[in-house]
Amino acid sequence: MSTPMSFPATTDPLYLLNDDVDAMALIDQLSARQMQLQALLARTFGDSGDAFRRLNPTLQDNYLWACFMIAEEMRGLSEALRVRNSG
């Protein structure tokens, strides 16, 4: 059975991971999303965070919501990897 993947914008699965996907593909996707999240969050603190803090509140919320969605996808990918490795 394919693994359902959801995003915080919806409670229904948005896409399914193919049962045939191998662990390396999951690891690659997880690593890519991790690096993207790291790059986004690096712009929110310290000296580089000044520009972020000057954004209007709606843009700040949307930016951080995007970060949250990436983190949720990473959680789902990690769980799918755990399930594949345990079964």
Q: What does the radius of gyration of the chain's CA atoms come to, in whole angstroms?
A: 15
Beta-carbon contacts of residue 82 (< 8 Å; ≥ 6 apart): none
Q: Which residue in the block uniquely carries the two structure tokens 């919320």?
A: 61
pLDDT of residue 15: 75
Residues 6+ apart with CB under 8 A from 35: none
The whole-number mean pLDDT for each consecutive block of 10 residues of the chain, a chain of 87 residues, reads: 58 74 92 97 95 96 95 92 86
**CA dist., res. 43 & res. 47, Å (int):** 9
Q: How many helices (H) and strands (E) does the chain have?
A: 3, 2
Parse the chain into domains and list their residue ranges.
Answer: 21-86
- pLDDT computed for residue 1 by the predictor: 42
The DSSP bridge partners found for residue 3 are 17
pLDDT of residue 4: 66
CA 75 to CA 24: how far, in whole Å?
A: 16
What integer pLDDT is reported at residue 11 of this predicted model?
A: 62
